[in-house]
Amino acid sequence: IALSLRDEEGLEDGLFNLRRIEANSSIAYVCGLIKDKNDNFLTDGQNQYHLYDRVMAIGYHWSWGSVVRFDKTIASPQDVHCHYGKNVPLTSALLREQVAAQGRKNICQPVKASDPLRSDILNGLRASYIGDSNSLTLNGPLPTVKFIVEDLCATEDYAYFLGKATGDKTSFFIHDDANNRLRVVLKKSPDGVWRPQPENKLLTQQSKVSGGYCSDGTLRETDLAQLAQACRVEGDTVNLTGTLRQQGDGESAYWTLTPDNPLACVRDANKQQPGWNQTMQLVLTPQERESLNNLVGKKVSVGGDIFLALIASHHTSLLLDNIFRLTEIK
């Protein structure tokens, strides 16, 4: 715990002189000063001593991080008065009350069933859920589902959901999670709508479960912001906007999308190829292209799975496969 606090504060060359430390498996209290390697108490530029007085909790990646700060500066090491003195009995419940009192600005706090925020977040999930991406038909209907919530917390700008969708037919091609659960980070847009992250992410029965979450720990705003920047992987389902173009003629013809906002990070993509993310080939049958031929040259919205180029007939580094939606933006 002390090492985590030291690293968090950039004090790698210092050693903590702890006046109190109490912990259980997921929440802790620590109070102390910092010393240099010569065993001298460190001061700031005004000859004051910084008292590190914190509640810390396990976050994602099973690392300890500060969630409540009672820090202050003191004139002398003899002036140490911790927020919780040694005569104060500490319990996990007491420390968690302090975490709850911080509100949603920096800490992902539970969202209760009676809170209108819960409906707003679940509506964002529902709008982004398309079901079994392997069985959808182009521009066909999407399932209507409800969500079973196992864990839901939110800051002012981010939310974390753990649970599963019910109401659509289960696919044979689900991910390895035995309970078929979804773990989703959402971000509140300027228009007030909650959207899964990274941007343009869609949720399916095949949605990959990102590793590194600690669902019984405490997530901070900074943790969620970092998780929201996760790199895409092949098989991720996305909805992109851009200009639809036809390349080539006859049997060699194929369609591409020039995205308005190219994907910035796709794991294992051939980034050595110039413009690797500026154009994406769309995997469509000749019949599908014929039925939507009037869209060529127009602004469109496309939903499908990220696919990496493998063979000569793949003309771009990134492709969209299993396309279930291709419509004009009017």
Domains of the chain by residue range: 2-100, 109-227, 237-328
Give the chain's mean pLDDT.
91
129-168 pLDDT, tens digit each: 999 888 889 999 999 999 999 999 999 999 999 998 888 8
Q: What DSSP line would sit under 36-94, residue for residue?
A: -TTSPBP--TTS-EEEEEEEEEE-GGG-EEEEEE--EEESSGGG---SS-TTS---HHH
> What is the pLDDT, as a whole number, of residue 207?
73
CATH fold of the domain at 2-100:
Nuclear Transport Factor 2; Chain: A, (3.10.450)
- Does residue 177 surpass a pLDDT of 70? no
> What is the pLDDT, as a whole number, of residue 167?
87
pLDDT (mean) for 273-285: 95
Alpha helices in the chain (DSSP H): 2-8, 92-100, 116-127, 221-227, 286-291
DSSP 266: B
Task: Locate 26 and state its tokens.
Answer: 């997921």
310-320 pLDDT, tens digit each: 888 899 999 99
Nearest CA-CA partner of 240 in 213, 261, 225, 222: 261
Neighbours of 290 (CB within 10 A): 9
CATH 2.40.50 fits 237-328, yes or no: yes
Residue 198 preceded by cis peptide, ω within 30: yes
252 vs 201, which has greater pLDDT? 201
Nearest CA-CA partner of 58 in 82, 99, 27: 27
pLDDT (mean) for 276-290: 95
Distance CA 129, CA 144 (A): 9
Range with lowest mean pLDDT among 50-59, 165-174, 209-218, 261-270? 209-218
> What is the pLDDT, as a whole number, of residue 9?
93
> What is the pLDDT, as a whole number, of residue 208?
57
